[in-house]
Amino acid sequence: EESGPGLASLLEALGEPRPPPELGSLLCNLSQVREGRRGILDRSRLSVQRLLPHTQLGAPLDLRRGAVGALRNCCFQHGE
């Protein structure tokens, strides 16, 4: 659910020193549905700013792939 605690806790985990690698896959899967994309693109959550550092080479590969996949899926969200 877009306003539920699930997305907020996942986004908070991105700020940890060592986020779990499977977090990327969860966010990528979540971004495949409209509500997930809306939650990620919500400017008040600063989700995109939290995801961007995990697209760099220093991030674990699984997390990097998931972050890039989530951002890619968000590119298909039409203005609503």
Helices and strands counted in the chain (H then E):
5, 0
> What are the pLDDT digits (tens) for 17-66?
888 888 999 999 999 999 889 989 989 988 899 999 999 988 889 999 99
Which pLDDT belongs to residue 79?
66
Give domain status of residue 38, yes or no: yes
Give me the number of domains the chain comprises: 1
Give domain status of residue 12, yes or no: yes
Give domain status of residue 43, yes or no: yes
Residue 2 has pLDDT above 90, yes or no: no
Which pLDDT belongs to residue 10?
86
Give domain status of residue 80, yes or no: no
Which pLDDT belongs to residue 25?
93
Spatial CA neighbour of 27 closest among 2, 51, 45, 58: 51
Give domain status of residue 25, yes or no: yes
User: Domain residues for 13?
Assistant: 5-75
Give domain status of residue 54, yes or no: yes
Roughly how many angstroms between the first and final C-alpha of the chain, as a whole number? Answer: 17
Which pLDDT belongs to residue 80?
58
